[in-house]
């Protein structure tokens, strides 16, 4: 038997390579992050940009925006001048 490491399967990560999980947002801290996320989104940043800035996932950022009752922009981009 050889001492070579077994090949990794696709999609399976080594537990030591995973990004550490953020602690749950609860109470006052969640309210503060929610308000900050909403403010930044309303200034024109995308959900992905806001999520990256806060080190949170897209899904959590989207949930926080819904909790803040922010009107989400369409995911479709506007056509450029002269395009249809």
CB contact set of 53 (below 8 Å; sequence gap of 6+): 40, 45
Residue 37 near residue 65 (C-beta atoms within 8 A): yes
Q: What is the pLDDT of residues 28-79, one digit of tens each?
A: 999 999 999 999 999 999 999 999 999 999 999 999 999 999 999 987 766 6
| pLDDT reading at 84 higher than 80 | no
Q: How confident is the model at residue 83 (pLDDT cuts 50, 70, 90)?
A: low
Q: What is the pLDDT of residues 3-20, one digit of tens each?
A: 666 666 666 666 666 666
| pLDDT reading at 1 higher than 60 | no
């Amino acid at each position: 038997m050889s001492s070579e490491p077994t090949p990794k399967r696709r999609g399976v990560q080594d537990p030591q390579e995973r990004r550490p999980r953020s602690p749950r947002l609860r109470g006052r801290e969640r309210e503060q992050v929610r308000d900050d996320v909403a403010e930044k989104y309303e200034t024109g940043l995308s959900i992905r940009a806001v999520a990256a800035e806060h080190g949170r996932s897209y899904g959590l950022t989207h949930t926080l925006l819904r909790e803040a009752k922010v009107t989400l922009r369409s995911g479709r981009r506007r056509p450029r001048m002269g395009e249809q």
